[in-house]
Structure 1
Amino acid sequence: MSGQKEQHGTGLSSLVARGAVLAALASALLVVVDTPLKSFISSSLDYFSLHVSSSTEYDLSGVCQQVPGLSPRNHDAERFIRDKVESPAYHTEIINKLTRIIQIPSESYDDLGPIGEDDRWDVFYDMEKYIKATYPTLVGNVRLDHANTHGLILTWEGSVPASEAKPILMLAHQDVVPVLPDTVGDWTHPPYEGFYDGEIIWGRGATDDKGYLISLLESVDLLMKSGFRPKRTVILAFGCDEEISGENCGRPIADFLHERYGDDGIYMIMDEGSMGVQKEFDQSFAMVSVAEKGYLDVGINITSSGGHASTPPDHNVIGILSEIIVAIENSPFPGRVTSKNPMFGFLECAAAHAPPASLTSGVRENLGRVARGDVEAQEKVAWLLDDSLRYYFRTSQSVGKINGGVKINAIPELASTMINLRLAVETSVAQVKEHYESLIRPIAQRHGMHLEGFSSSGYDSPEQHRRKISLYSVDDLEPAPVSPVDAEAFRVLSGTIRNTLHPLGKDGSEELIVTPYLMPANTDTKFFWAVSSNIYRFTPINLVHSLNRAHTTDEFIRADEFVREPLFFATLILNADDAVGVDGS
């Protein structure tokens, strides 16, 4: 796993060096690359070159330069795909495919036992059967491998060996969040009916993630039917447990591909994103998440002697736990905008492209100081931003579970809580643990209790065994490495977005701006850091109402956006194929 990569705007000497290298590389490529990729590289040279100002003022004139739309060289395949996605008959066909896969209740549960022992996994056999029955052309032309039974890996072998042209990998997951029986009546349409009302497709998984999965399958199926044959190997991989951490399928898939292709053996990884195309600061943005926040669950157990409630201590374990929770909530992690965070790149794009009045002047005026590492400015910008953005710049903490006591007239002997944290890009699991220990240590001392920290090996005495505060962690995950926005793969992705997607403005005058972004949650990409440095998370639709109400009642996807998703993915595959031989990938 490589370290995090800094975004533009950080390190003056580094920017100069990188800008010179990229400019030289782009110029060299112009000599050997055919049109239209040659034209694409030529017209987007300003984007690849990093703007550096000798002034102490922060000049936005060269920030967030956009590449032009990138059209594939294979005009026949592109025309075939475009004609298809514009066809009303095709709309009916692909919508029907999504509604039918929604009808398979492929729920994953936190308490699932091992695959092969817990029969609740068996629904994923139905998912595989559905894919095979619905896409016979695709399945007949790929190699299908299984990772831990239900992880599906479909490999469309390219004509150029993977050692010479790294494969492109596209991820989706088959599982969905369970629907609580008590909430079924709250749905406008039954969650597993897959109801289509002429505008919207309703049902669990419509957005997260069966719409994405069907779109990937469609894109490859249509390319095959167009007569296209790839030089670069194309891989589709579908996990079975992304909603419950991915250990049963996500990790085995990553291990399988790492064994096959080695470190950094994949050209680009695409997975679902949390924002897609959005209107922010009165400007349409295509928000490509180039990193994810870290993850940590912290458990706190407090034990002490019990007894009869008629003779209680001044503070029992529930009271002490309450004191700890109040201390935690009264000591939130500070917010700070730094250039290490992809969201700084988003703010730069907003400052450069959004209407001036839409972005708070204090934010715009302090971006230069933020880039230079001014802590005061970094904290000020974080404070000025809207509440909807604040947790992109800080570690969040949420007390999610609490337990204590078994009988009203008995002094409880144990109280416990679980706290969920999403770690800011700039922090680490160790720093969060150190913060919690320093916060809780004086409370333990005040109550004469032993503090058993995260790395504690045991107890010092029987008395401390009875009166102690124990800390432990679950699912430790560092913040993801930041994928580069100056990589060839990102430029191909950006050009594809601007060729196939449209801004949300209705008057046609607005430009769609591609920007780096941060994923506040986690996807199966957390297992793939060693496989590729180019990991991008993006859903090519306008996600509204909390990701189209994913994870809650009335999940949906707009049909007019869904039917065009295969055009985006197919075009990305074609453009990535055109890049074979351009940079040795």
Structure 2
Amino acid sequence: MEQKQSKTAIQWLLIGGAIAIGLASAFLSISDNPLKALFTERFPSFDDSGLDKYTPGSQSVCQQVPKLSPKNEKAQQFIRDKVESPKYQEEIIDKLSGIIRIPSESYDELGPIGQDERWDIFYDVEKFIKAKYPTVFSTVKLDHANTHGLILTWEGSVPASKAKPILMLAHQDVVPVLADNVKEWTHPPYEGHFDGELIWGRGATDDKGYLISIIESLDLLIESGFKPKRTVILAFGCDEEISGENCAKPISNLLHDRYGDNGIYLIMDEGSVGIQKEFDQSFAMVSVAEKGYLDVGINVTSTGGHASNPPDHNVIGILSEIVMAIENSPFPGKVTSKNPMFGFLECAAVHAPESSFPKSVRNKLGNVANGISKAQQDLARELDNMRYYFRTSQSVGKINGGVKINAIPETASTLINLRLSVDTSIAQIEEHYENLVEPIARKHRMVFEGFHSSRESSDPRKVSLFGVDALEPAPVSPVDAEAFKILSGTIKHTLKPLGQDNELIVTPYLMPANTDTKCFWALTKNIYRFTPINLVDNLNRAHTTDEFIRADEFVREPLFFASLVLNADDAVEQDTS
């Protein structure tokens, strides 16, 4: 009898629960019902916003601006006609081929400019662009930052205090080509070969194509008769591939001295993805932030001796244990609304075809936006193929230890490269590594020195941690700023979607690596990294064998940059009113 009563009670509880859920759903379906606010306040993990906010066609997120045509129709038409001319296209392709032929490689171990003769190749780059663009150099003011950093300033008619300048960046240097790998190239890396479709060579995509395009845009604007109200600045670094310390930083310092904090309207620099097709929809992916950077060094030292009488664990064994602990403890991933990649997911949810965007991802977006930790972690796991957009990466890149086979090694060391997610900090990374490594040091009765130890121990048996080239994640640039809207409108005006797509959707994105913009944070909040071409075919060609760029994409880049200058100039009337 008691079992029957218990069973009946459970049935009534289930029925009551179903009724309650039904009533709650009915109440919650009324958007203005105060019970909805009460319910979501009482149960914060509940979110139904994804049911309508993130459905295809929704206007509540990722709103697109219309195409933005420059008011200076004469200049715009002149440039468009020129870019479409076969003769012009032949000339600009020849310019890119020519600058590729200058092997302006930058090396990690370069000495100071003026002392290491390997820097002298950048004199050839400057000489080349001066020869190819005499009209530009007779119009702009040229400044040098630390010899090889080039700053071209086209002064506007309105003072910079009333109309902040637009700044476009590119870098002259390329990563070295290993001599042993030259034979693997389809065409020699420094030949600048054009086969009628592709322009081959080191720097074609990263970043000499960009450099030629932005200086070409100034040349076209000058030829069109355009006179800027807003000052236009081009800046070309010489060491983006190694640090930016020798050129990018001096360039930034010079411009900061000239224009001050937030003295620049907009910064444009190269982007890593350009125009791509994801979820069966074309996206113009504008990187509005970059991951942070840190190299972690670990030194393990001890006393040496003859290999015939070894300890149970020498420094190489202890270091190996540390490396294993690090690799077995990867950083967790989570998708937060702070990450620009969440903005991309929002755009894909409302603009991609409903059948192409995973429903399971769509259903999590609302809870992620509301800061629900479990949803943030679950979504990161579901998007594991994109894991390093959502979590800190770590890669053991170098390891050294021992000098002779019959001697007990006295030192062993490693360097680990990390790219910090936008949600973390250098302090958190350091704490994580100290928590992993210190117990191993104590286990082997060794002194442990953390990243910021106040004093160095004289004990030869120790484990030491240190950081190199520490860089916090970049500030996230705003997507609601006037500058971003002008950039978005320019993209829509000058660039086309891929295939048969009806529209090119502009979306925020994340730069997983770093550009010279890391030196320019103080100059403006409006830093955007975007390469205005379809990078589908050559996305992974930079820094490796057979780098190339599609000629039909490259020749149209100057139209984008020139249109951006014109549109930004049109906004001056609003700035000065």
| TM-score relative to the length of structure 2 | 0.90
> Greater Rg, structure 1 or structure 2?
2
In structure 2, C-alpha distance between the alignment counterparts of 1:425 and 1:197, rounded to whole Å: 41
Match of 1:284 among 282, 286, 290: 282
Shift of 1:194: 0.2
Alpha-carbon deviations, 1:26-64, whole Å to 9, x = none?
Answer: xxxxxxxxxxxxxxxxxxxxxxxxxxxx98523132111
Aligned partner letter, 2:550: R
Q: Are the equivalent residues in 1 in contact too, given 2:538–2:549 (CA < 8 A)? A: no
* Residue in 1 that maps onto 2:396: 399
Residue 582 of structure 1: SS of its match in structure 2? Answer: helix
| AA at the equivalent of 1:420 | N
Q: Which of 479, 487, 497 is the equivalent residue of 2:473? A: 479
What is the percentage of aligned positions where both structures have the same residue?
75
Kindly indicate whether residue 368 of structure 2 is the aligned counterpart of residue 370 of structure 1.
Answer: yes
Q: 1:309 offset after TM fit, Å? A: 1.1
Indicate the residue corresponding to 1:429 in structure 2: 426
Give the structure 1 partner of residue 86 of structure 2. Answer: 88
In the other structure, the counterpart of 1:35 is none
Does the 8 Å CA contact 2:148/2:238 hold for their aligned counterparts?
Answer: yes
**Alignment partners' CA distance in 2, 1:555 and 1:494:** 28
Q: Distance in 2 between matches of 1:238 and 1:220?
A: 14
| Distance in 2 (alpha carbons) for counterparts of 1:451 and 1:355 | 55
User: Paired residue for 2:573?
Assistant: 581
Q: Which amino acid aligns with 1:558?
A: R
Aligned residue for 1:357, secondary structure, equals: coil
CA displacement 1:561-580 (0-9 Å, x = unmatched): 00000000000000000000
2:538, 2:548 within 8 Å by CA — same for their partners in 1?
Answer: no
2:560 to 560, 565, 568: 568
1:44 maps to: none
Structure 1 contact 548–556 (Cα < 8 Å) conserved: no
Partner residue, 2:489: 495
Query: Aligned match of 1:537 in 529, 539, 560?
Result: 529
Q: State the one-letter code of the partner of 1:163.
A: S
2:411 pairs, out of 414, 422, 432, with 414
Asked if the contact 1:207/1:548 (under 8 Å) is kept, the reply is no
Residue type of the alignment partner of 2:102: I
Question: Are the counterparts in 2 of residues 548 and 557 from structure 1 also a CA contact under 8 Å?
Answer: no
Letter matched to residue 294 of structure 2: L
Mapped to 2, the partners of 1:398 and 1:356 lie a distance apart of: 37
Q: In the alignment, residue 260 of structure 1 is paired with which amino acid?
A: R
Structure 2, unaligned runs of 5 or more: 1-45
Corresponding residue of 2:547: 555
Amino acid at match of 1:307: G
Could you state the TM-score of these two structures normalised by the residue count of structure 1? 0.89
CA deviation after TM superposition for structure 1 residue 98, in Å: 0.3
Deviating beyond 4 angstroms after TM superposition, the runs of 4 or more aligned structure 1 residues are: none
Contact 2:396 2:416 in 1 (8 A): yes
**Letter paired with 1:574:** L
Which of 168, 171, 175 is 2:169 aligned to?
Answer: 171
Q: 1:153 aligns with which of 144, 151, 154?
A: 151
SS in structure 2 at match of 1:322: helix
Look up the equivalent residue of 2:494 and give its one-letter code.
T
SS at match of 2:573: coil
The alignment covers a number of residue pairs equal to 526
SS of structure 1 residue aligned to 2:163: coil
Q: Distance in 2 between matches of 1:446 and 1:583?
A: 64
Shift, 1:354, TM fit: 0.8
Q: 2:185 aligns with which of 184, 187, 202?
A: 187
Aligned partner letter, 2:449 = E
Shift of the alpha carbon at 1:458? 2.6
Structure 1 residue 548, shift from structure 2 partner = 5.0
**Residues 269-280 of structure 1 aligned to structure 2 (within 5 Å):** 269-280=267-278
Q: 2:311 aligns with which of 302, 310, 313?
A: 313
Counterparts of residues 82-161 of structure 1 (less than 5 Å): 82-161=80-159
Which AA in structure 2 matches 1:372?
Answer: N
Which deviates more from structure 2 when the two are superposed, residues 287-296 or residues 354-363? Answer: 354-363
**1:147/1:249 contact within 8 Å kept:** yes
Other structure's SS at 2:574 match:
coil
Local SS of the residue matching 1:402: strand
Partner Cα separation in structure 1 for residue 263 and residue 201 of structure 2? 37
* 1:487 positional shift: 0.1
2:299 partner amino acid: N
Q: Per the alignment, in what secondary structure is the counterpart of residue 522 of structure 2?
A: coil
Cα offset, 1:310, TM superposition: 1.3
Q: Aligned pair 1:247/2:232, yes or no?
A: no
- The reply to whether residue 223 of structure 1 matches residue 185 of structure 2 is no
- How far apart, in 2, do the equivalents of 1:510 and 1:374 lie? 35
In 2: Cα distance, 1:574 partner to 1:226 partner: 12
The answer on 1:520 being equivalent to 2:518 is no
Instruction: Write the deviation string for residues 97-136 of structure 1: whole angstroms up to 9, x where unpaired.
Output: 0000000111111111111111111111111111111000
Q: Which residue of 2 aligns with 1:18?
A: none
What does residue 342 of structure 2 align with? Answer: 344
Kindly indicate whether the alpha-carbon contact (under 8 Å) linking 2:490 and 2:563 is maintained by their aligned counterparts in 1: yes
RMSD: 1.2
**Residues 64-75 of structure 1 mapped to structure 2, 5 A cutoff:** 64-75=62-73
- Distance across 1 between alignment mates of 2:552 and 2:335: 37
Code of the residue aligned with 2:532 in structure 1: it is: P
Match of 1:449 in 2: 446
Provide the rounded CA distance (Å) in 1 between the counterparts of 2:137 and 2:445: 65
Is the Cα contact below 8 Å between 1:199 and 1:560 reproduced in 2? yes
Q: 1:56 to 1:79 in 2, by over 3 A?
A: same
* Runs of at least 5 residues in structure 1 that lack an aligned partner in the other structure: 1-53
Change (3 A) 1:223 1:165: same
The structural deviation recorded for 1:556 is 0.2
Report the Cα offset of residue 581 of structure 1: 2.6
Task: Give the CA deviation at 1:386.
Answer: 4.4
Deviation string, structure 1 residues 230-287 (Cα, Å, up to 9, x no partner) = 0000000000000011000000000000000000000000000000000111111000
Structure-2 change in CA distance of 1:459 and 1:261 (3 Å): closer
Aligned to 2:572, what secondary structure does the other structure show? Answer: coil
Task: Measure, in 2, the Cα distance between the counterparts of 1:102 and 1:526.
Answer: 25
Letter in 2 for 1:247: E
Do the aligned partners of 1:167 and 1:233 also contact (CA within 8 Å) in 2? yes
- CA offset at residue 360 of structure 1? 2.0
**1:29-44 residue pairs with structure 2 within 5 A?**
none
Write the mapping of 1:233-244 to structure 2, written as runs, cut at 5 A.
Answer: 233-244=231-242
Match of 1:196 in 2: 194
SS in 1 for 2:419: strand
**Contact 2:47 / 2:366 at 8 angstroms: preserved in 1?**
no
